[in-house]
Amino acid sequence: MNEQEKKKLNERLAALDTRERHKLYKRASLLRKARASMTKTRNRAVDEEDEPTRLRIRRGENLDDWVLKILDQEEPTREVEGAEKKSGVVVWIGKKSCRVRIPGAEILCDVSGEIQREQQTLLAVGDEVVVHLGEANVVRQVLPRRTRLSRPDPQNPNIERVVVANVDVVVITVSVKTPPLHPRLIDRYLVAIQRGGATPVICVNKLDLLDDPEERRAELSKLEPYAATGVEITTCSTVSHEGMLKLRQAVEGKTCAFVGHSGVGKSSILNAIKPDLNLETKGVSEGYGRGTHTTTASSLYHIEGGTRLIDTPGIRSFGLWKMSAQELCWYFPEFEAYKDGCKFGNCTHTHEPVCGVKQAVGDGLLSRHRYETYGRLLGA
């Protein structure tokens, strides 16, 4: 901290009473601790599709630096005379800036310091924000979220990373054959989506690759356990266009995010719904696997009729927070019908000797795969 900063800090502290000062230092200490633990884990190998953490702590920063940072952050913004405020929706986020759709235009905005440091926590695509227009447009406020799809930071599970905000529907996109249908990611998404208040829809793409009716039936039967949970399932192909009408109807007038592995056809589906989006898709040869991926950040597209579509980067693994058995059971509604057979009211359906849910799994009435996922998530 240089002399000038020291002077500034002392002036600002002088205006506070002892209790306020104490509180401020405590906050600074917590912030510093959180940042330090992130920095420590920052260099660990990360799944290449997971976003790197963008926080940095400079060497030699002491608690006073952090206190000054907080004070700076909270300094009432000196508004440019006549500065206009507009509310809008975040459609894209870069490192230090974001694009916001305001009535009649889309503008590039700077993001205030604190929001920048807490990227993907305080600000996500889909967020409603207040922008102060001026020489530089600045995002000053993020409005409360109606819904969110979030997950723990892969490197620091204490930090929430919001993938998208204020979505009505999240379409869990999977494909058949390339890549093959793996229901495991579906389970995790279903929990996270419903926990965040949005409605899940499962969309199975590339149906054109299954022209043999028997093969199609066998492949789609993997989704029967999900139909039993009441989730809407749509099937489609961006090549033959079968099922596209139904998918269009499912997203109409809503804000919908498409999530799922890289290569399942999310960008292709968005193009099929709205051809002039012209999103880049992968060449067939690098259709799936660990090759280059086209979508590296989420983007929100406005479509006529109030529909908003969000393309998200492929996320290979989607972490979840640890939950109690009681909460987790909310997301496995198909267990409900068999709970009468449990001896204990607070049965976790794991180690208890008399358990209606375990019995139903044994009798083939409940999906073993779903039950195993439940157990894994409980122990997660």
Report the interface residues with ligand GDP, using CB under 6 A: 205-206, 208-209, 237-239, 262-268, 281-282, 284, 287, 294-295, 314
Interface pick for Zn ion out of 93, 167, 342, 360 (rule CB under 5 A): 342
132 touching Zn ion, by CB under 5 A:
no
Residue facing ligand GDP at closest CB distance? 265
For 2, phi and psi rounded to 5 degrees?
A: -85, 175
Interface pick for Zn ion out of 349, 370, 371, 374 (rule CB under 5 A): 349
DSSP 139: E
Q: Which does 264 bind (CB under 5 to 8 A by kind): ligand GDP, Zn ion, none?
A: ligand GDP
In whole angstroms, what is the distance from residue 79 CA to residue 141 CA? 14
366 touching Zn ion, by CB under 5 A:
no
Nearest residue (CB) to ligand GDP, 105 versus 284: 284
**SS3 assignment, position 148:** strand
Nearest residue (CB) to Zn ion, 199 versus 350: 350
Q: Which does 357 bind (CB under 5 to 8 A by kind): ligand GDP, Zn ion, none?
A: Zn ion
Q: 17 vs 24, 62, 357, CA distance in Å? A: 11, 22, 59
Find the shortest distance in angstroms from Cβ 188 to Zn ion: 22
Find the shortest distance in angstroms from Cβ 348 to Zn ion: 7
Find the shortest distance in angstroms from Cβ 95 to ligand GDP: 22
In whole angstroms, what is the distance from residue 216 CA to residue 131 CA? 50
Q: Tell me which stretch binds Zn ion (CB under 5 A): 64-72, 91-99, 215-223, 343-351.
A: 343-351
In whole angstroms, what is the distance from residue 378 CA to residue 335 CA? 15
| Owner of token pair 């139904």 | 246
In whole angstroms, what is the distance from residue 178 CA to residue 276 CA? 25
Nearest residue (CB) to Zn ion, 128 versus 352: 352
For 87, phi and psi rounded to 5 degrees?
A: -100, 150
Nearest residue (CB) to ligand GDP, 100 versus 204: 204
Interface pick for Zn ion out of 109, 159, 309, 357 (rule CB under 5 A): 357
DSSP 51: P
In whole angstroms, what is the distance from residue 9 CA to residue 71 CA? 8
Spatial neighbors of 101 by CB under 8 A, at least 6 apart, are 88, 89, 91, 300, 302
Find the shortest distance in angstroms from Cβ 372 to Zn ion: 15
Nearest residue (CB) to ligand GDP, 32 versus 282: 282
Interface pick for Zn ion out of 139, 270, 347, 361 (rule CB under 5 A): 347
Structure tokens at 358: 């375990």
355 touching Zn ion, by CB under 5 A:
yes
Nearest residue (CB) to Zn ion, 60 versus 353: 353
In whole angstroms, what is the distance from residue 220 CA to residue 8 CA? 66
Nearest residue (CB) to ligand GDP, 238 versus 373: 238
Nearest residue (CB) to ligand GDP, 14 versus 284: 284
Residue 44: exposed, middle, or buried by beta-carbon count in 10 A (0-12, 13-18, 19+)? exposed
Q: Work out whether the CA dihedral 368, 369, 371, 376 comes out positive or negative.
A: positive
In whole angstroms, what is the distance from residue 192 CA to residue 198 CA? 9
Q: Please report, as ranges, the residues that interact with Zn ion according to CB under 5 A.
A: 342, 347, 349, 355, 357
